[in-house]
Amino acid sequence: MSHNHQESDFFPSQDKFAEAFSKFTFDLSMDEVSAKVQECIDKHYKELDTRENVNLIHSMIDLTSLTSEDNEDKIYHLTQQVNKLDDEHPDITPVASICVYPNFAQVIKENLTVEQCHITCVAGGFPSSQTFPEIKEAEIALAIHDGAEEIDIVLPVGAFLAGDYQSVCDQLQEQRQAAKDVILKVILETGALQTPENIVKASILALFCDADFIKTSTGKGYPGATPEAIYIMASIVKQYYDQFGLKRGIKAAGGVRTTEEALKYLCILKEVLGDEWLTPELFRFGATSLEADTLKHLL
């Protein structure tokens, strides 16, 4: 993905945020969104419920370990689990990445033998985004130095909810620069944003700050991914693509545990964005237990 940052210079004046928001339309209530989601599922679930698509879901997973109990041994074993599956079942497409705290990037780099699988690190003061901007940027740089190929950061939700969009964009743009050319996913924390209007605005800000992906949740302390949040985010990604010709990805994270749930997200993507988005390059699941559930269907 190219990062010439031309959109990042979009905001020229104090009315810039109102101007940016005005380029997008989304006027559904959460109840109306829920009804739309159900329509997507009713329309597409049966045709998408195939072994091929369960394998696709497996290939979209950022296999995640983000707990206080993580240690080098645990991350080593997680990495070997990915290696072993690839060796023994080459017909199953590997997970998209292994997602860990930055201090474990090197463990994966030294042990991962599956070329298709990337190293993702959460950074930038994950999960609260509450620390000094300099620390956020340094953490991103250190993670990349140790092998991170993708970085997941958190939109400053407190500043966003206070209406301080300038601070939100300044921080996101500085972290985008620190991430250089690696894939950058911006977590909106949709469970804290709650309303369609907030999810729409946060999506727009993240996209204009050159996020490669917008992601629902940290999975820490707030409700995780919901089909409703993904429907709203997909609608904004579609409008962004229609206006600027730039394809941006979406990541559903937090609480997606079963293959059946994951298939419902594919139904939404297919309806709102089309088959082009049904690829690990443009859609991910941040998950721990989903991987084991997909393997029940694949092995």
What's the CA gap between 108 and 123, in Å, rounded? 16
Considering only CA atoms, give the Rg of the chain.
Answer: 18
Alpha carbon 237 to its chain centroid, in Å, reads: 13
Residues 6+ apart with CB under 8 A from 283: 60, 249, 250, 251, 252, 265, 266, 269, 277
Q: Which helix (H) or strand (E) holds 215?
A: strand 213-215
Using CB atoms within 10 A of its CB, is residue 110 exposed (0-12), middle (13-18) or buried (19+)?
A: exposed
β partners of residue 100: 121
Q: In the annotation, is 146 catalytic?
A: no
Query: Which residue is catalytic, options 62, 152, 210, 293?
Result: 152
Instruction: Quickly count: other Cβ atoms within 10 Å of residue 290's Cβ.
Output: 25
Query: Which residue is catalytic, options 251, 264, 270, 293?
Result: 251
Q: In the annotation, is 27 catalytic?
A: no
Provide the terminal-to-terminal Cα distance of the chain, rounded to the nearest Å.
Answer: 34
Q: In the annotation, is 43 catalytic?
A: no
Query: Which residue is catalytic, options 36, 185, 201, 215?
Result: 215
Q: At what angle do helices 30-48 and 259-272 cross, to 10 degrees?
A: 110
Active site residue ranges: 152, 215, 251
